[in-house]
């Protein structure tokens, strides 16, 4: 095809064509990636939340792909506007038998809330989940534990919205309802049971450490932080900054190293529950100085007190109501709540969706206020 002299010259003077080809390919790929970044956005782009004065270790960077990702549970949320009473309507307590809560609702609003509860808690089973497969005339019976528990959970929800207003509405008035925890499941995800000691057959005292459990966030930190602090309500504390503390650690009001590590375990749980890190509430250069904490610390502290109260007053007392399969696998204790039960990895449950706007019946005990 080519003259002999041309073929001979090429044979005597070989040229490496792969290097330039690779270079051209690399440049082309870089241009293509740059075009994608410009048109679709940089997936590694971050935004920073400044939680305190600049230069004090109180800036929280977060990837936009995570920060702007919608909570998928929001799409499944069922809501319906209330029927504003005109006055003179019959109330649920006068129509139905054994209405111990929500009796001050009109018939329309009572049934509207019952329908919503089935969507929030038992969308597959429907009304039968609490009332059984019986005629509507028999719905007043308390034969199923699920109905007894549901009644108590309604009261708990009203208490959260009424008594713990400062926590659930710290940023905006959003409140909570059944869906905040249940998300269409009979039993909410991220409940917890007592699990410590994890292994009684190990010689020596483990301080409940070095057991990679879900409650220690798969770390070697103590696995009993939730039960010690959110059920037993022990003081959350770290060891003293003094090198020679008067008194015996673990006694005399002096926090031991184990208390510190248990506190770290709890803080680690908080971070994972809200999808934040330590400086969301604390100044990283002065964890010990409460005066340098952020306003979020106060909201979190109120949340701790709220969870302790809910576990003590509502959840733990239901232990004898539940069947064996609903109790803890080790100590047969009642399921309990903690931060992640509501937050599920977000700073605000359901990213701040107003859960009480259409449901004033759950805002407080007694007759609802419709606006």
Q: What is the CATH number of the domain that holds 119?
A: 1.10.468.10
In a domain, 184, yes or no: no
Same domain for 64 and 76: no
Same domain for 307 and 266: yes
Contact in structure between 309 and 317 (CB atoms under 8 Å):
no
Per-residue pLDDT of the chain (371 residues; tens, 9 = 90+): 678 777 777 777 777 766 777 777 888 888 877 776 666 666 677 777 777 666 666 777 777 777 778 899 999 999 999 999 998 999 999 999 999 999 999 999 999 999 999 999 999 999 999 999 999 999 999 999 999 999 999 999 999 999 999 999 999 999 999 999 999 999 999 999 998 876 665 555 666 667 778 888 888 888 899 999 999 999 898 877 777 777 777 777 778 888 888 999 999 999 999 988 888 898 888 888 888 888 899 999 999 999 999 999 999 999 999 999 999 999 999 999 999 999 999 999 999 999 999 999 999 999 999 97
In a domain, 3, yes or no: no
Same domain for 338 and 288: yes
| Phi-psi label, residue 360: left if phi above 0, alpha if psi -120 to 50, beta otherwise | alpha
Same domain for 135 and 243: no
Same domain for 289 and 231: yes
Domain final position from 35, 69, 103: 69
In a domain, 160, yes or no: yes
CA 208 to chain centre: 24
Contact in structure between 168 and 157 (CB atoms under 8 Å):
no
Same domain for 213 and 200: yes
In a domain, 177, yes or no: no
Tokens found for residue 335: 């399921």
Give the C-alpha separation, 78 to 99, whole Å: 24
Please give the torsion angle defined by the CA atoms of residues 363, 369, 370 and 371, in that order, rounded to the nearest 10 degrees. -100
Same domain for 367 and 336: no
Contacts of 129 (CB under 8 A, 6+ apart): 118, 121, 122, 146, 186
Which domain covers residue 310, as residue numbers?
190-343
Same domain for 195 and 231: yes
Same domain for 31 and 147: no
Please state whether the predicted TM-score (pTM) of the whole model is above 0.85: no
Same domain for 82 and 35: no
Same domain for 335 and 204: yes
Contact in structure between 265 and 211 (CB atoms under 8 Å):
no
User: How many independent structural domains does the chain possess?
Assistant: 3
Cis peptide bond prior to 197, omega within 30° of 0? yes
């Amino acid at each position: 095809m080519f003259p002999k002299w041309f073929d001979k010259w090429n044979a005597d003077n070989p040229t490496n064509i792969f290097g330039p080809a690779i270079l051209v390919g690399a440049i082309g790929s870089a241009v293509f990636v740059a075009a994608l970044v410009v048109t679709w956005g940089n997936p590694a782009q971050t935004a920073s939340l400044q939680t305190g004065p600049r230069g004090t270790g109180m800036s929280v960077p977060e990837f936009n792909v995570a920060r702007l990702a919608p909570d998928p549970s929001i799409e499944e949320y069922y809501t319906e506007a209330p029927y504003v009473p005109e006055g003179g309507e019959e109330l649920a307590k006068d129509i139905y038998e054994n209405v111990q809560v929500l009796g001050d609702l009109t018939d329309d609003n009572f049934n509207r809330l019952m329908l919503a509860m089935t969507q929030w808690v038992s969308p597959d089973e429907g009304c039968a989940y609490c009332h059984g497969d019986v005629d509507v005339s028999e719905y007043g019976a308390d034969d199923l534990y699920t109905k007894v528990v549901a009644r108590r959970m309604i009261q708990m929800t009203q208490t959260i919205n009424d008594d713990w207003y400062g926590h659930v509405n710290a940023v905006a008035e959003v409140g909570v309802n059944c869906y905040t925890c249940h998300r269409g499941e009979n039993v909410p995800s991220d409940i917890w049971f007592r699990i410590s000691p994890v292994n009684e057959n190990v010689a020596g005292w483990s301080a409940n450490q070095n057991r990679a459990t879900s409650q220690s966030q798969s770390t070697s930190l103590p696995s009993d932080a939730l039960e010690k602090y959110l059920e037993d309500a022990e003081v959350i504390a770290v060891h003293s900054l003094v090198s020679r503390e008067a008194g015996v650690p673990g006694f005399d009001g002096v926090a031991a190293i184990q208390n510190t590590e248990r506190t770290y375990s709890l803080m680690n749980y908080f971070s994972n529950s809200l999808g934040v890190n330590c400086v969301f509430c604390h100044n990283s250069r002065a964890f010990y100085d409460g005066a340098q904490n952020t306003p979020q610390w106060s909201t979190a502290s109120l949340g701790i007190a709220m969870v302790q109260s809910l576990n003590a007053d509502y959840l733990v007392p239901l232990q004898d109501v539940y069947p064996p399969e609903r109790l803890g696998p080790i100590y047969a204790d009642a399921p309990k709540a903690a931060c992640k039960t509501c937050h599920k990895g977000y700073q605000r449950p359901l990213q701040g969706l107003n859960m009480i706007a259409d449901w004033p019946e759950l805002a407080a005990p007694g007759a609802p206020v419709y606006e």
